[in-house]
Amino acid sequence: MQRFGIDIGGTGIKGAPVDIARGELAEPRWRILTPQPATPEAMAGPVADLVKHFGWQGPVGAAFPAVIKNGVARSAANVDQAWIGTDVSAALSTATGCPVTVLNDADAAGVAEMTYGVGRDARGLVILCTLGTGIGSAMFLNGELVPNTELGHLEIDGVDAELRASDAARDREGLSWSHYSRRLDRYLQTLEKLFSPDLFIIGGGASKKSEKFLPRLNLQTQTIPAALLNNAGIVGAALAAVPATGAPGDDSPPPPGADGFHDQEVRLAGAPA
């Protein structure tokens, strides 16, 4: 079974068909720069082009960098404010001519990691942070997603955390890895104090360079890089487009967790088959 996944970010929009059984891209992904300003009108065209590029027709999942409630954006930090209150799902369905399911981008990356990646067997409280243009967060309790946590916007010393500790902040300010690691350490220690997680997973653009900062962190919590690296958003988005029982006419079995991320059977460690 394949679904199309799109990861919409403040910097780039990327997508590909995804092999749902394996949690891998079925074809090399395609990336388009996010138009600036990133308004609903300006972004609809590139998203439609991306789907057309692959000749895709069928269900699409889209990861979007905002709070998403019932398909509607309730915030906009790294895209234009005009998205707030927009039915993203309806707008992208109209633009692409395909049914589009939308979820927060960090939630999408988290679902992918928890289904196919390093979080597969993780129990307890898991927090995945994506370090990219902003900081995204996805929180899981015993494998179940608590959506739209937005922990990148925690205020530390009166400053929105993602303005100081995202990968874009490191780039913008030309920070050395040791300087950046201190900022990230402060951020993750704050999360640690507030939530006492069992595992941190670090994803997003920075996860490709995790050897530069992970060894410099002073955390009590086990902290590991994401396995799906930059494709987690695409894979998680595609997974969100899979209905519980598979698409009509598709008799392949649904993937683990494909029922909207509540499939406890595949997640309970040691549970009888």
Binding site for ligand BGC (CB under 6 A): 65-66, 75, 77-78, 104-106, 130, 132-134, 136, 150, 152, 162
Instruction: Please say which residue, 106 or 118, places its beta carbon nearer to ligand BGC.
Output: 106
Instruction: Please say which residue, 4 or 64, places its beta carbon nearer to ligand BGC.
Output: 64
Q: How far is the CB of 45 from ligand BGC (least distance, A)?
A: 21
Q: How far is the CB of 264 from ligand BGC (least distance, A)?
A: 25
- What element of type H or E holds 249? none
Q: Which residues touch 182 (CB under 8 Å, ≥6 apart)?
A: 216
Instruction: Please say which residue, 75 or 190, places its beta carbon nearer to ligand BGC.
Output: 75
Angle between helices 40-53 and 88-96 (to 10 degrees): 50
Distances (CA, A) of 252 to 27, 75, 234, 261: 20, 36, 21, 18
Q: Which residues touch 232 (CB under 8 Å, ≥6 apart)?
A: 108, 109, 110, 112, 113, 117, 130, 203, 226
Instruction: Please say which residue, 1 or 156, places its beta carbon nearer to ligand BGC.
Output: 156
Shortest Cβ contact with ligand BGC: which residue?
Answer: 134
Q: How far is the CB of 100 from ligand BGC (least distance, A)?
A: 18
Instruction: Please say which residue, 96 or 137, places its beta carbon nearer to ligand BGC.
Output: 137
Q: How far is the CB of 126 from ligand BGC (least distance, A)?
A: 16
As a 3-state breakdown, the chain gives helix, strand, coil percent values, each rounded to 5, of 35, 25, 40
Q: How far is the CB of 25 from ligand BGC (least distance, A)?
A: 20
